[in-house]
């Protein structure tokens, strides 16, 4: 199958582009909202002989493509089972572009659901280990919602750590949004009941040790009253096996989506991908900067594929040049 992506303002416009370029036989593999006013449709069409087998003149570059994808997955230290599945899916697509091959494979194996765009009546609650980037991510989400004129309320359940309440209050002042503290589940329940129904309610939590039953039970009590859309926040660059254990622990509390932070400060995304797999978590967002204003990007299969291939590529380039501290861009 040959794979291409098409971007347009609406799904109907993108479909027209697909039909014009690939004809009526085209198969839609995914549609992804890109920002506030665009969609990207990934579409494929069987090769000319109708069997899906590669055309002879494309065979060599398709193999090069799979080699490039395989090398990147190895660099990121993905568990062999996931790497094999992704490679097999990428090979089935028979596309020449490594980004599109890996994007198609990621789309087949994982799911993607950004936060603010996927409107939910439930509060958005962020959980994760200490220092993962929860509070900064709350501020980034609030910024994005404010930019789309959505009312935002923030509540923090972290009333214990020194400076935690002040940290959220500072962001709230800057963003001109109301912020509350909930020292126990009863207060949180009341804050949720009183929040505007048409707005985004963001709930910050205290950093928890996923292997400490007491801490997780206490967090579970806040989750029980909030009935939230629960997202796990994990920093990139962590050990793969550890990330899997973390994801499984927070999945057990009800987390369904993943926000990977500090992707700008890590080269290896094996832990992030393994966490999504182990916790059956949808990829939601990627934190790319400590800056509140533009540090969070929704993830889609193409952007994740690009990140995975770029990191591996920039590491190769750095090694070849003997360069230390080489900079890179994800955009
Ligand atoms: N480079 C970079 N730094 C980040 C990112 N997200 C968060 N940080 C930094 O990570 C540190 C911890 O962020 P917080 O938001 O306070 O983390 P937290 O999970 O709320 O921490 P606790 O409340 O103590 O559990 C801060 O120094 C942030 O600036 C990111 O995407 N990139
Ligand atoms: Mg915090």
Q: Where are the domains of the chain?
A: 2-109, 124-299
**Protein residue closest via CA to atom 26 of ligand 1:** 133
User: What is the per-residue pLDDT for 89?
Assistant: 85
Coil/strand/helix, residue 4: strand
Ligand 1 shell residues, CB under 6 Å: 128, 130-136, 158, 161, 164, 207, 261-262, 264-265, 287-290, 295
Residue 189 Cα to ligand 1 midpoint, Å, equals: 26
Domain topology for 124-299: Rossmann fold (3.40.50)
**Which ligand gives the minimal distance to the CA of 286?**
1
Distance CA 268, CA 265 (A): 10
Atom of ligand 1 nearest to the CA of 289: 32
Strand order in the sheet with 2-8: 2-8, 39-45, 27-33
Both tokens of residue 186? 């009863």
Distance in angstroms (rounded) separating the CA atoms of residues 291 and 153: 20
Residue ranges near ligand 2 (ion) with Cβ within 5 Å: 134-135
Position 34 scores a pLDDT of: 65
Cα 127 to ligand 1 centre (Å):
13
pLDDT band at 51 (very low <50, low <70, confident <90, very high): very low
pLDDT of residue 295: 85
Task: Tell me the C-alpha distance between 126 and 231, whole Å.
Answer: 5
272-303 pLDDT, tens per residue? 999 999 999 999 999 999 999 878 999 999 99
> What pLDDT, in 10s, does the model give residues 69-117?
989 999 999 988 898 889 888 877 878 899 999 999 999 999 999 886 5
* 106, two tokens: 């990621």
Q: What is the pLDDT of residue 17?
A: 82
pLDDT at position 62 over 70 = no
What is the best residue among 163, 284, 290 to mutate for testing ligand 1's pocket, by most ligand atoms within 8 Å of CB? 290
Mutate to test the pocket of ligand 1, among 126, 127, 133, 250 (most ligand atoms within 8 A of CB): 133
87 alpha carbon – ligand 1 mean position (Å): 33
Q: SS3 sequence, 211-271?
A: CCHHHHHHHHHHHHHHCCEEEEEEECCCCHHHHHHHHHHHHHCCCCEEEEECHHHCCCCHH
Query: Per-residue pLDDT tens for 138-163?
Result: 999 999 888 888 889 999 998 888 88
Tell the residue number behind the tokens 């994808």, with chain if given: 69
pLDDT bracket for residue 313 (50, 70, 90): confident
User: Of 30 and 57, which is predicted with more confidence?
Assistant: 30
Question: Is residue 44 very low, low, confident or very high in pLDDT (cuts 50, 70, 90)?
Answer: confident
Q: Has residue 249 got a pLDDT over 80?
A: yes
Note the pTM of the prediction, 2 decimals: 0.80
Reply yes or no on whether the pLDDT at 212 is more than 70: yes
DSSP state of 181: E
What is the chain's mean pLDDT, rounded? 84
On whether the CB atoms of residues 150 and 142 are closer than 8 A, the answer is no
């Amino acid at each position: 199958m040959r794979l291409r992506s098409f971007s347009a303002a609406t799904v109907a416009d993108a479909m027209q582009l697909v039909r014009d370029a690939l004809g009526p036989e085209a198969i839609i593999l995914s549609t992804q909202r890109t920002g506030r006013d665009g969609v990207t449709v990934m579409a494929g069409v069987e090769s000319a002989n109708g069997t899906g087998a590669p055309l002879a003149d494309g065979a060599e570059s398709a193999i090069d493509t799979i080699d490039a994808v395989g090398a990147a997955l190895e660099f990121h230290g993905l568990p062999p089972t996931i790497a094999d599945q992704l490679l097999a899916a990428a090979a089935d697509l028979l596309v020449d572009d490594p980004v599109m091959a890996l994007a198609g494979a990621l789309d087949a194996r994982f799911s993607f659901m950004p936060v603010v765009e996927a409107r939910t009546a439930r509060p958005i609650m962020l959980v994760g280990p200490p220092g993962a980037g929860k509070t900064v991510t709350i501020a980034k989400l609030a910024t994005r919602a404010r930019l789309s004129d959505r009312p935002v309320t923030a509540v923090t359940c972290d009333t214990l750590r020194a400076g935690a309440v002040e940290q959220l209050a500072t962001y709230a002042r800057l963003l001109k949004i109301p912020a509350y503290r909930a020292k126990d589940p009863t207060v949180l329940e009341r804050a949720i009941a009183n929040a505007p129904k048409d707005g985004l309610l963001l709930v910050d939590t205290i950093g928890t040790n996923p292997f400490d039953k007491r801490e997780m039970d206490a967090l579970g009590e806040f989750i029980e009253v909030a009935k939230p859309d629960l997202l796990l926040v994990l920093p990139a660059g962590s050990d793969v096996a550890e990330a899997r254990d973390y994801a499984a622990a927070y999945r057990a509390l009800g987390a369904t989506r993943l926000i990977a932070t500090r992707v700008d400060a890590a080269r290896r995304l094996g832990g992030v991908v393994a966490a999504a797999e182990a916790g059956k978590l949808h990829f939601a967002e990627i934190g790319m900067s400590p800056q509140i204003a533009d540090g969070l990007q929704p993830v889609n299969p193409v952007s994740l594929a690009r990140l995975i291939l770029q990191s591996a590529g920039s590491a190769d380039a750095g090694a070849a040049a003997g360069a230390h501290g080489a900079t890179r861009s994800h955009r």
